[in-house]
Chains A and B, each alone.
Chain A
Amino acid sequence: MGSRKFLLAVMILGLGQIGSAQSPTFGVGRTPTADEVRAWDISISPDGKELPPGHGSAKEGAQLYVQKGCAGCHGRTGSGAQAPTLIKSDGTTKSSMPCLAPCVNDNNVMALHSPFATVIWDYINRGMPLGKEGTLKPDEVYALTAFLLFKNGVIQESDVMDLQSLPKVVMPNRQGSALPAQEWKHGTSRLPKYP
């Protein structure tokens, strides 16, 4: 190999390495198909960008609340039963049931406590009904979410929840936060000046 050709080869190799700085280092694992990602990705952002098409109303939700067995654990009125309170009670009747951990009662009903309506949608979609998680259709999740929001006085009975309207619901605890004031950084205490 002539010296100029050799130099050229070295330069090309070198460029190749620079070009591959952004490439995978190990090349282990495979690229999922778009369908695979869609099937697995059930995360819902507070802005609702991953919400699927579909719609539901509080009236439809009221029927589903019975049909899907929600009332069996959460109570016919949505309170005073074994499972977390879903509908804030009128306060006139005291529950005879102990509040099981995590204790969700009139003080922290999700439809009033959650800063975003999408959180309720996500919770029902991934976690309910007990023993049949992940079986609800988007229309059913929209309807059950609408039912809980209506029964807690957050939306009107006639309001239809869908991927447009749900993220726009103005939640009573919109200012509620679960985050520290400062971003996490390596080597920082959890709360400056806290002993």
Chain B
Amino acid sequence: MDSKPRDRRRFLKKGAALAGLALGTASSASAQTPDSHVPAADGHSTDPKELAKELIAYGERSKFVTSVRVPVAERMSPDMFGLTFHVLTPLQDSVGIITPSSLFYVATHRGSFVPEINPSEHRFMIHGMVDRPLVFTMDELKRLPSVSRIHFIECLGNRAQARHKTVQDTHGLTSCAEWTGVPLSLLLKEAGVQSGASWIVAEGAEEVKGSSSIPLAKAMDDCLVCYGMNGEPLRPQQGFPLRLMVPGFEGIYQIKYLRRIKVVDRYYMTYDDYGHINPDPKVAALTHQIGPKSVITFPSGGQQMSGPGFYEITGLAWSGAGAIRKVEISTDGGRSWHDAELKSPSYRMSHARFGFAWKWDGKECVVMSRCTDELGTMQPTRAEAAKYWNKPLEGFRVPGADNTVQPWKVASDGKVSNGLT
């Protein structure tokens, strides 16, 4: 957290050294004395060769780009007990559909720890109701046929509230990345699933061995055993060296530090399943698969319009049931809706970027988006959700995962704020 200022200083030092390198003048030659190779106060070498190596090896973004994750507004991360850690993706600054790995959201209830797992020692086991239990090293998994797919992950806690200020606060517990790994179906077929099996239990290697039950039908459909994310190995906060991807299911199913899958013949109600217990099975149903859901990222809460004229309204749409087919925009608080344009490929269980050409007349208005997925299911407004549950809109809390429409209020001075009341 407090590494930022230091990084900044580091950047400036590097810049100065690079300038010296580029000039290659007599003064730079005279600077290459043993004295100048003494490490700087921040521990970084002043040796031009060393600095060049740092600049070449792993790039940094521009110092003018400052977008960062922030903790969930109501809580500290980690919390006062040191266990709950929720940080939000800066969706207001996002472009396209890929979330940079450094900005991908993180949510955990058992420690902000990042287990340090040596990939050469990590093992992944498939056992239970299979003909041939199997253990894989990471190298062995990488020998198998792989796929790369783009999928979002969303936390069940991604729930917009009136007190939230920005789209990072309201919707920042969703992110989208390219995931690379072995289809779980391939691994299960290799092990030979026995008849009578109906569920799998997946488990991580961290302290509490976090574990979830997943229907076998889903496991055989589109789940991935991933080692890659956005073109490089998974980040430690995202489960390095191995994680399970259960596309479209709530975040808690995407088991990090994956070490074991047991094929079983019933629902196990293990460690992470317990939180889904609900008196109403209809509500329980809304805690597994996500969406359809969309949100406008520009103009969104906390942003400032620079005056009347042309703007592209843009945002993200996603569904746990498949691809996004349609996004509509309202600029009059939901009285009329107009088709937006999909600005990115629309992959199954992925964020899709939408855009809508808009001439703002400078008057106060409320902008909102709603999406329809490949099943034809349309994202509801809060009023529609309240009507389904037969509850008054006043003080209504959407049961299960909240996928309702998010309104943003644009004031006549161009200030944008949360339109939820």
Contacts and interface: CB of A to CB of B under 8 A. Distances in A.
B377 A189 contact: yes
Contacts of A195: 377-380, 384-385, 388
A176 B279 contact: yes
B140 A29 contact: yes
Interface stretch (A18-26, A57-65, A86-94, A147-155): A18-26
B271 interface: yes
A47 B75 CA distance: 38
B192 interface: yes
Contacts of A122: 270-271
B259 A40 contact: yes
B203 A43 contact: yes
Given A25-B190, A26-B190, A31-B134, A183 B215 contact: yes
Interface string A71-100: 001000000001100000000000000101
B282 interface: yes
B282 A83 contact: no
B201 interface: yes
A22 B135 contact: no
B204 to A, nearest CB: 10
Given A32-B135, A41-B262, A195-B384, A26 B209 contact: no
B125 A178 contact: no
Contacts of B278: 176-178
B44 interface: no
B192 to A, nearest CB: 6
Nearest to A37: B127
A37 B125 contact: yes
Contacts of B277: 113-115, 173, 176-178
Contact of A42 (B209, B275, B385): B209
A40 B260 contact: yes
Interface string A9-27: 0000000000000101110
Interface stretch (B31-39, B77-85, B90-98, B408-416): B77-85
Contacts of A190: 285-286, 288-290, 320-321
B281 A126 contact: no
B78 to A, nearest CB: 10
B189 A114 contact: no
27 contacts: A22-B192, A24-B132, A24-B192, A25-B190, A28-B143, A31-B135, A37-B133, A43-B201, A45-B268, A46-B267, A46-B268, A82-B80, A82-B81, A100-B84, A101-B75, A101-B157, A119-B269, A127-B271, A131-B207, A177-B281, A180-B281, A181-B282, A183-B217, A184-B217, A185-B217, A187-B375, A195-B388
Top 3 closest pairs, chain A to chain B, by CB: A180-B285, A195-B380, A178-B276
Interface of A: 22, 24-26, 28-32, 36-37, 40-47, 73, 82-83, 98, 100-102, 110, 113-116, 119, 122-123, 126-127, 131, 133-134, 173, 176-191, 194-195
